[in-house]
Structure 1
Amino acid sequence: MIDWVRTAATMGINAILPPRCGGCGEVTDTTHAVCADCWAGLRFISAPHCSCCGYPFELDDGVPGSGDNIDGGRTLCAACLQKKPAFDQARAALAYDDYSRDYLLRFKHADRGDLTPLLARWVYQAGRGIWDQADLIVPVPLHRRRLLKRRYNQSGLLAAKLARMTGVPWDGLVLARHRNTRSLGGLGPSSRKREVGGAFVVDEVRAEKCNLAGARVVLIDDVLTTGATANACVRALRQSGAKHVSVITVARVVR
């Protein structure tokens, strides 16, 4: 009886407010989906990729270059071989380009919280093999001034949804951005690193409540560009005892 009522209610809602493509807005058959045309434009990242930062290798047969890319049995990109990031591993669902940028800009700046289930599903897929070992999900925080202006933290929306999908608890207050950094758009790697250096702190009271010490943490953000923000967050989490930190984003910049 309950299932029948739920089905009838869903049909009624869809008749009044039909599900639409998360990209172009065209009517679709199912909720939180994209149409075939929009799907074709998205570049999902899959193996082979760097075992550490998740950067996709362009050669279909796996290891680019020579055996020098092997480190401890892991295949690493040149950047990770030269300098290992602060995080243990990073994964992203999509390559950041004109198609994925449109989704993220609307999600981030245009009050499109309705895109959360769609984007969270992609992030969930990107994190396969990570969720079942995670102890805590933490979103990259906004400074309070920016949060008041935007009214929501897009990374927090994703973290809350992913917590429900995975059963892994999340905390949106254990990590804080105590310095209001300027927008990183247009800045180079060195400038980005300087801008976010020391900008993040851990609330030790909340850290104790969510058992951060010794935890395997998943840090959630919308885009991984140079890794400056992610690395700054990870350093703060590690200083407060996090054992292992993975970074999972909706998209990442591919050089």
Structure 2
Amino acid sequence: MKVKQQLINLIKQLGELVYPRLCAVCGLRLGRHEDTVCLECSLRLTYYRETAFVASERLLASPLFRSLSAPFTYAHHNDTHQMIVALKYQGYRSVADYIVRIAMSKQALRFHPKDIDLILPVPIEDGRLQKRGYNQAALLARALAKQLNLPWSDKHLIRRKGSHSQTAYGRQERMQNAQRAFALSSDPKQASALAGKRILLVDDILTSGSTLLTLCDLLESCGVKDIHVFVAAVTLRRY
């Protein structure tokens, strides 16, 4: 077994000579004991504190909302922004696992796993999914499910074809676009299976809250009991 592990490590090291592991933030080569984000960049990431920023207020319009968990804060042109860009647009899938590990180590989860029945990621439109190859919210949901030993599914919520990204909209436009963008699965079994469930809803960034509130409304319509929210980062910009 020891010889086998040494062989695996050797193959891994040879692979890194050809395809070196790069930091998702600065792009420089990672050290042997660094993973996804180098130590220097990790020290510059900005952490979210609910007691200081109270971003959960953006979601209080839903009677099902129970808690907001977020390890990071987000602003354009800072290191957290670059980390999210790497996850969302540059194929750094391992960033999702890194974010969840940080959330666990910083005790950023404001819910107890026993209070969650199912983890649901915010869906993306099929065309964008095919182009990108993955849904970043689903990567976060899967990483959370693995860490917390909970089930997750991307079959219950859909994003309608032709709906637009929320990035370029102001708050009012975000609300209107979100209401047009999402729907429950057309499979009645998927919708009925949510009745009475306690859901952890997962997304990459919380901005105005319009997307998450719209999904809370959809989940309320099919009988969901409680909704907790996890996002990788909370924007501190005012909307």
Q: TM-score, normalised by structure 2?
A: 0.83
C-alpha distance in 2, partners of 1:129/1:8? 42
1:44 aligns with 2:47: yes
What is the count of residue pairs matched by the alignment? 225
C-alpha distance in 1, partners of 2:167/2:34? 32
SS of the equivalent of 1:217 reads strand
Relative to structure 1, is the Cα distance of residues 7 and 166 closer, same or farther in structure 2, using a 3 angstrom cutoff?
Answer: farther
C-alpha distance in 2, partners of 1:40/1:226? 27
Aligned pairs (5 A) from 1:122-161: 122-124=102-104, 125-161=107-143
RMSD of aligned Cα (Å)? 2.4
**CA contact under 8 A between 1:178 and 1:200: conserved in structure 2?**
yes
Query: Partner amino acid for 1:5?
Result: K
Q: TM-score, normalised by structure 1?
A: 0.78
1:29 to 29, 32, 56: 32
Q: CA deviation at 1:223?
A: 0.4
2:68 alignment counterpart: 90
Relative to structure 1, is the Cα distance of residues 29 and 84 closer, same or farther in structure 2, using a 3 angstrom cutoff?
Answer: same
1:111 aligns with 2:91: yes
**CA contact under 8 A between 1:198 and 1:232: conserved in structure 2?**
no
Unaligned runs of 5+ in 1: 56-76
1:243 alignment counterpart: 225
C-alpha distance in 2, partners of 1:223/1:159? 13
Q: CA deviation at 1:202?
A: 1.8
Q: CA deviation at 1:33?
A: 4.4
**CA contact under 8 A between 1:20 and 1:31: conserved in structure 2?**
no
Unaligned runs of 5+ in 2: none
1:14 aligns with 2:3: no
**CA contact under 8 A between 2:30 and 2:36: conserved in structure 1?**
no
Q: CA deviation at 1:215?
A: 1.0
SS of the equivalent of 2:99 reads helix
Q: Where in structure 1 do 4 or more consecutive aligned residues deviate above 4 Å?
A: none
- Larger deviation, residues 164-173 vs 117-126: 117-126
C-alpha distance in 2, partners of 1:31/1:134? 32
Query: Partner amino acid for 2:83?
Result: Y
Structure with the larger RCO, 1 or 2 (CA within 8 Å, 6+ apart): 2
How much identity, in percent, do the aligned residues show? 27
**CA contact under 8 A between 2:36 and 2:94: conserved in structure 1?**
no
Relative to structure 1, is the Cα distance of residues 7 and 92 closer, same or farther in structure 2, using a 3 angstrom cutoff?
Answer: farther
